[in-house]
Amino acid sequence: MSIERSLVLVKPDGFQRGLTGEVLRRIEGKGYRLVALAVLTPTREQLAAHYAEHEGKPFYEPLVEFMSSGPVTAVVVEGQDCVKGFRSLAGATNPTDAAPGTIRGDLGRDWGTKVQQNIVHGSDSHESATREIGIWFPDLEG
């Protein structure tokens, strides 16, 4: 196991529902350290960089539109294997499939085809985390 960093986003649906504090409580309860935190409404440029690998896919435009629809809480977390650990804490992408005890399983709603409205984003690999942290926190060192 290694100490690493990951990007976590509390998406507009989670922010609007007042779930940022609960998400942060679960992250800290898991033993991860908060390294950086910002509340902002993402720009289209930020989102284009963040979701570049999905450009051209059918869900890309609805996702960018949703993610730019209101404030998000962007957080850099640090801890042992926190990329994998946070993804486990978040639960399955579709809140309907997410296990009880996970963020999406406990707090998510069934939005039908709007699966992007699933409260949180977490980096899916160490490489993605490094790239994403650079997009959301360009002045953050190492």
Binding residue per annotation — 93? yes
Give the neighbor-by-neighbor strand order of the sheet with 120-122.
33-40, 72-80, 3-10, 120-122
Catalytic one among 50, 54, 121, 126? Answer: 121
CA distances from 58 to 22, 94, 113 (A): 32, 17, 12
Binding residue per annotation — 59? yes
Contact assessment for residue 103 and residue 119, using Cβ atoms and an 8 Å cutoff: yes
Neighbours of 135 (CB within 10 A): 17
Whether residue 50 lies in the annotated active site? no
Binding residue per annotation — 118? yes
- Phi, psi at residue 84, to the nearest 5°? -65, -40
Q: Which residues are annotated as a binding site for ATP?
A: 11, 59, 87, 93, 104, 118
Q: Which residues are annotated as a binding site?
A: 11, 59, 87, 93, 104, 118
Please identify every residue annotated as catalytic.
121
